[in-house]
């Protein structure tokens, strides 16, 4: 008998229908593989069954192995579902809707035929969680679609839409009908007597172009540095070309076992679950009725406002872009059009898609024109009085029940909400630049924000493709506040003698796509210069940064002026080390009476990241973030922290709270107050507790 709690077997019209029913996405959880084996065996033994169908209940076919089971001991099954399906003497048709990913697609590849609905997606995304397909996918996919296409799919891990999968040869037929089960049964009846059964393992793999695998290794060298999984994926597909099937399977197994418990796989699994956990706000009542968001407005047609408007249009939500100045509005719309056009030119967006999205963004010049929108996001200049003026207008204009969100990165949400008569409808929605690209959305709760407003803002973020993360209202909120100490240490270490290119190299070697100084040059040094000037004017004790001040005052504002921390050739973004920068650093440091010394790479890394770990602990202590893992999600999706290191706090845990505390305490002695160890860090150091599992009292 099949295990009918997670896998059902029913016979209809001579076809045995095997249905995996393990919500929410039919991962291969406990009993699923065994259930498929039992069902296949039952179908084979039943003379009334001519052929079988394998399908998923609910929203998906099979989303792959149960990721929660990795890294833990598992019993080896007597028979694997892959073997049972492939060896079946009666044909099995995989009928795919939703997702067939990882072990899900691998099971489908063991079926004799595959059909799918047009909206289905298939893929082998194991590389994204630091492993490789371990159910024969690296051996079967190259046999089915050729080594080149298989290599690309397995190394990228991308989800392939059904029509493309059909063109590649993964799917035999796309079924248009609404009733997949009926279509699958009809298909199974049609092929029931066809023999021999087509088995992917028996196909001859096409010859690979010489150099295919080395070319792939070279092409991923930069992106995949410090990682093993992408290279193991290549090696496994190479084995499909160079080894007989069974030997290739053994190679795949060996490489899989090397990866399952690797540091990168553990970090990537953690990141996967952290990105889902971040959506949960345990302190909110369950099943809150939330306002429907069908139309949106963005106030401010600058770069940020334009990027936010694009995020709505990209997800099919009509959005009005409001700017009081017709010129600014025209410029903003022009910028949006150019952004889309660049994507079309690069091949990442179809012209038809651009033509569908652009009209969803409607430029308007009056508050009346947006008054009936379900949500408005203000994205104007970052100054409190300016934002307050806008919110007073929004309060007067917007329909009751509309969500009023401010895209501020640092201003007090309560002070913004206070100018309205409906502070319960106000929250922060902090996007990261470029807003249409960056995944992170910090949702900031003000003192009077209603639970439904907060929940609706979180949900809205997800509806426009973002990862919404909760933040309490404090200076810099959570993401930037935890990042500020990094920036401070970056500036101070240069005064003390570390060179920008050394610091950049340490961080690039660590896994960042760019070093922080190269990033500064890209964004322009003048913005933070202005902020420092403002802060210094407001606070006589403000500790400025005279070196970047000098650079800006000399006209070195970064890439746009041909020089900043680095020097740039005309029309080229490659940073070149500049002796002039070295001279300026020495001169300013001497003027400040700071003696320069050399730094080890480890000291640089630790000064940058430990300072942020300490601040993250303070943020958690104060209840401004809910979970350490939320902060990790922010660093991964807002700051380019290498994903295979899990995030700031996951990485810190690898070193341990005690060691970090000791170092921070030593720096506290040496450098003073800015290194005051967080109370939470001290407690974790004493108890041997985990940094990544730290939570604020609010999350319980």
CB 232 within 8 A of CB 132: yes
Q: How far is the CB of 199 from ligand 3HC (least distance, A)?
A: 19
User: Which residues are known catalytic residues?
Assistant: 106, 126
127 versus 631: smaller Cβ distance to ligand 3HC? 127
Q: How far is the CB of 272 from ligand 3HC (least distance, A)?
A: 7
Q: How far is the CB of 403 from ligand 3HC (least distance, A)?
A: 23
27 versus 456: smaller Cβ distance to ligand 3HC? 27
CB 95 within 8 A of CB 300: no
Which range, of 47-55, 124-132, 147-155, 607-615, touches ligand 3HC by CB under 6 A?
A: 124-132
Q: Is 472 a binder of ligand 3HC (CB under 6 A)? A: no
Which range, of 66-74, 408-416, 463-471, 621-629, touches ligand 3HC by CB under 6 A?
A: 66-74
Distance CA 28, CA 30 (A): 7
Q: Is 305 a binder of ligand 3HC (CB under 6 A)? A: no
Which range, of 122-130, 293-301, 477-485, 618-626, touches ligand 3HC by CB under 6 A?
A: 122-130
Q: How far is the CB of 36 from ligand 3HC (least distance, A)?
A: 14
Q: How far is the CB of 276 from ligand 3HC (least distance, A)?
A: 4
Q: Is 276 a binder of ligand 3HC (CB under 6 A)? A: yes
Q: Is 264 a binder of ligand 3HC (CB under 6 A)? A: no
Q: How far is the CB of 298 from ligand 3HC (least distance, A)?
A: 25
Q: State both tokens at 283.
A: 């302190």
**CB-side neighbour CA atoms (13 Å) of 80:** 14
Q: How far is the CB of 26 from ligand 3HC (least distance, A)?
A: 9
125 versus 516: smaller Cβ distance to ligand 3HC? 125
71 versus 177: smaller Cβ distance to ligand 3HC? 71
Sole binder of ligand 3HC in the list 91, 103, 130, 446 (CB under 6 A)? 103
Which range, of 65-73, 213-221, 432-440, 643-651, touches ligand 3HC by CB under 6 A?
A: 65-73
Q: Is 175 a binder of ligand 3HC (CB under 6 A)? A: no
Q: Is 130 a binder of ligand 3HC (CB under 6 A)? A: no
Q: Is 347 a binder of ligand 3HC (CB under 6 A)? A: no
Residue with tokens 């270490």: 493
CA quadruple 296, 302, 308, 312: dihedral positive or negative? positive
Distance CA 459, CA 71 (A): 32
Strand 160-161, strand 319-322: pairing: unpaired
Sole binder of ligand 3HC in the list 35, 43, 91, 133 (CB under 6 A)? 133
Which range, of 57-65, 170-178, 315-323, 552-560, touches ligand 3HC by CB under 6 A?
A: 57-65
Residue with tokens 């069908």: 294
CB 53 within 8 A of CB 15: yes
Interacting residues of 326 by C-beta distance below 8 A, sequence separation 6+: 365
Number of residues near ligand 3HC (by CB under 6 A): 22
Distance CA 44, CA 38 (A): 10
Q: How far is the CB of 135 from ligand 3HC (least distance, A)?
A: 4
Residue numbers 597-656 binding ligand 3HC by CB under 6 A: none
CA 146 to each of CA 138, 139, 213, 251, 623: distance values in angstroms, whole numbers, following the listed order: 11, 10, 13, 19, 53
86 versus 615: smaller Cβ distance to ligand 3HC? 86
Sole binder of ligand 3HC in the list 3, 66, 323, 504 (CB under 6 A)? 66
Q: Is 99 a binder of ligand 3HC (CB under 6 A)? A: yes
Q: How far is the CB of 220 from ligand 3HC (least distance, A)?
A: 19
Provide the H-helix boundaries in 398-513.
413-417, 451-463, 479-496, 500-510
Q: State both tokens at 372.
A: 């009936």
Q: Is 252 a binder of ligand 3HC (CB under 6 A)? A: no
Q: Under the phi-then-psi rule, with left for phi > 0, alpha for psi from -120 to 50, and beta for the rest, what region is 361?
A: beta
Q: Is 125 a binder of ligand 3HC (CB under 6 A)? A: yes
* Termini Cα distance of the chain: 42
Q: State both tokens at 155.
A: 């190394």
Strands (E) across 335-459 are located at 361-364, 375-378, 403-406, 426-431, 440-445
Interhelix angle 657-671/679-687, rounded to 10 degrees, is: 140
Q: How far is the CB of 109 from ligand 3HC (least distance, A)?
A: 11
Q: How many CB atoms within 10 Å of residue 495?
A: 16
Q: Is 134 a binder of ligand 3HC (CB under 6 A)? A: yes
Q: Is 135 a binder of ligand 3HC (CB under 6 A)? A: yes
Kindly write out the interface string for residues 18-47 of this chain, putting x where it contacts ligand 3HC by CB under 6 A and - elsewhere.
Answer: ------xx-x--------------------
Residue numbers 476-535 binding ligand 3HC by CB under 6 A: none
Q: How far is the CB of 200 from ligand 3HC (least distance, A)?
A: 15
Q: Is 101 a binder of ligand 3HC (CB under 6 A)? A: yes
Smallest CA-to-CA distance from 532 within 551, 559, 504 is with 551
Q: How far is the CB of 205 from ligand 3HC (least distance, A)?
A: 19
Cis peptide upstream of residue 10 (ω within 30 degrees of 0): no
101 versus 234: smaller Cβ distance to ligand 3HC? 101
Q: Is 253 a binder of ligand 3HC (CB under 6 A)? A: no
Distance CA 605, CA 505 (A): 10
Q: Is 68 a binder of ligand 3HC (CB under 6 A)? A: yes
Q: Is 126 a binder of ligand 3HC (CB under 6 A)? A: yes
Q: Is 56 a binder of ligand 3HC (CB under 6 A)? A: no
Distance CA 670, CA 664 (A): 10
Q: Under the phi-then-psi rule, with left for phi > 0, alpha for psi from -120 to 50, and beta for the rest, what region is 366?
A: beta
CB 71 within 8 A of CB 113: no
Q: Is 67 a binder of ligand 3HC (CB under 6 A)? A: yes
CB 219 within 8 A of CB 212: no
Q: Is 74 a binder of ligand 3HC (CB under 6 A)? A: no
Provide the H-helix boundaries in 622-694.
628-638, 648-655, 657-671, 679-687
Q: Is 259 a binder of ligand 3HC (CB under 6 A)? A: no
Residue numbers 232-251 binding ligand 3HC by CB under 6 A: none
Q: State both tokens at 206.
A: 């096409």
Q: Which residue's C-beta sits nearest to ligand 3HC?
A: 102
Query: How many residues does this entry show for the chain?
Result: 700
Report which DSSP code applies to 4: T
Residue 399 phi/psi, 5° resolution?
-65, 155
Distance CA 552, CA 529 (A): 7
Q: Is 661 a binder of ligand 3HC (CB under 6 A)? A: no
Cis peptide upstream of residue 434 (ω within 30 degrees of 0): yes
- Residue ranges in contact with ligand 3HC by CB under 6 A: 24-25, 27, 63-68, 99, 101-103, 106, 125-126, 129, 133-135, 137, 276
């Amino acid at each position: 008998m099949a295990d009918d709690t997670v896998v059902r077997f029913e016979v209809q019209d001579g076809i045995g229908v095997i249905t995996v029913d393990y919500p929410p996405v039919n991962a291969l959880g406990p009993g699923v593989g065994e259930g498929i084996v039992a069902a296949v065996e039952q179908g084979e033994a039943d003379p009334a069954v001519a052929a079988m169908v394998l399908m998923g209940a609910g929203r998906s076919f099979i989303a792959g192995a149960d990721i929660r089971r990795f890294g833990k001991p598992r019993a080896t099954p007597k028979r694997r579902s892959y073997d049972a399906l492939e060896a079946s003497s009666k044909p099995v048709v995989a009928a795919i809707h939703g997702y067939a990913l990882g072990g899900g697609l691998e099971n489908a590849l063991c079926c004799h035929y595959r059909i799918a609905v047009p909206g289905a997606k298939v893929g082998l995304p194991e590389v994204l969680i630091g492993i490789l397909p371990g159910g024969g996918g690296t051996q079967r996919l190259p046999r089915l679609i050729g080594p080149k296409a298989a290599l690309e799919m397995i190394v990228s891990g991308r989800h392939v839409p059904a029509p493309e999968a059909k063109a590649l040869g993964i799917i035999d037929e796309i079924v248009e009908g609404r009733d997949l089960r009926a279509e699958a049964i009809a298909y199974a009846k049609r092929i029931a007597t066809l023999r021999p059964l087509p088995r992917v393992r028996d196909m001859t793999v096409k010859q690979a172009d010489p150099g295919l695998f080395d070319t792939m290794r070279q092409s991923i060298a930069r992106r995949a540095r410090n990682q093993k999984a992408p290279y193991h994926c290549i090696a496994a597909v190479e084995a499909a070309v160079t080894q007989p099937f069974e030997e290739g399977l053994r190679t795949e197994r060996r490489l899989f076992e090397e990866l399952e418990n690797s540091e990168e796989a553990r970090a990537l699994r953690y990141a996967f679950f952290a990105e889902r956990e971040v959506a949960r706000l345990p302190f909110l009542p369950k099943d809150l009725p939330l306002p429907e968001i069908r139309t949106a407005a963005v106030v401010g047609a600058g770069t940020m406002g334009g990027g936010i408007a694009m995020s709505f249009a990209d997800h099919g939500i009509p959005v009005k872009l409001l700017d009081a100045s017709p010129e600014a509005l025209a410029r903003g719309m022009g910028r949006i059009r150019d952004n889309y056009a660049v994507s079309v030119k690069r091949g990442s967006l179809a012209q038809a898609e651009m033509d569908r999205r652009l009209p969803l963004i409607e430029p308007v010049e009056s508050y009346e024109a947006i008054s009936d929108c379900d949500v408005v996001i203000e994205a104007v200049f970052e100054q409190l009085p300016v934002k307050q003026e806008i919110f007073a207008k929004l309060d007067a204009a917007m329909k009751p029940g509309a969500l009023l969100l401010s895209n501020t990165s640092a201003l007090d949400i309560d002070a913004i909400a206070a100018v309205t008569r409906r502070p319960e409808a106000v929250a922060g929605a902090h996007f990261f630049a470029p807003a249409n690209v960056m995944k992170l959305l910090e949702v900031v709760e003000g003192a009077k924000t209603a639970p439904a407003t907060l929940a609706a803002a979180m949900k809205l973020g997800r509806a426009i493709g973002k990862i919404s993360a909760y933040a309490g209202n404090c200076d810099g909120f959570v993401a930037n506040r935890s990042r500020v100490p990094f920036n401070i240490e970056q500036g101070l270490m240069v005064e003390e003698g570390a060179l920008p290119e050394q610091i950049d190299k340490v961080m690039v070697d660590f896994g960042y796509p760019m070093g922080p100084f190269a990033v500064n040059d890209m964004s322009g040094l003048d913005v933070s210069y202005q902020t420092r000037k403002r802060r210094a004017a407001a606070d006589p004790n403000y500790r400025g940064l005279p070196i970047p001040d000098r650079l800006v005052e000399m006209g070195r504002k970064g890439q746009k002026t041909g020089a900043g921390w680095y020097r740039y050739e005309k029309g080229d973004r490659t940073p070149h080390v500049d002796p002039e920068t070295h001279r300026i650093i020495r001169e300013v440091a001497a003027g400040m009476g700071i003696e320069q010394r050399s730094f080890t790479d480890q000291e640089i890394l630790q000064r940058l990241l430990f300072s942020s770990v300490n601040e993250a602990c303070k943020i958690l202590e104060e209840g401004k973030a809910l979970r350490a893992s939320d902060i990790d999600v922010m660093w991964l999706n807002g700051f380019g922290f290498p994903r295979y290191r899990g995030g700031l706090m996951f990485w810190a845990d690898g070193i341990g709270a005690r060691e970090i505390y000791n170092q921070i305490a030593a720096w506290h002695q040496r450098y003073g107050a800015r290194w005051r160890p967080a109370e939470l860090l001290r407690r974790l150091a004493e108890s041997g507790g985990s940094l990544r599992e730290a939570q604020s009292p609010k999350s319980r």
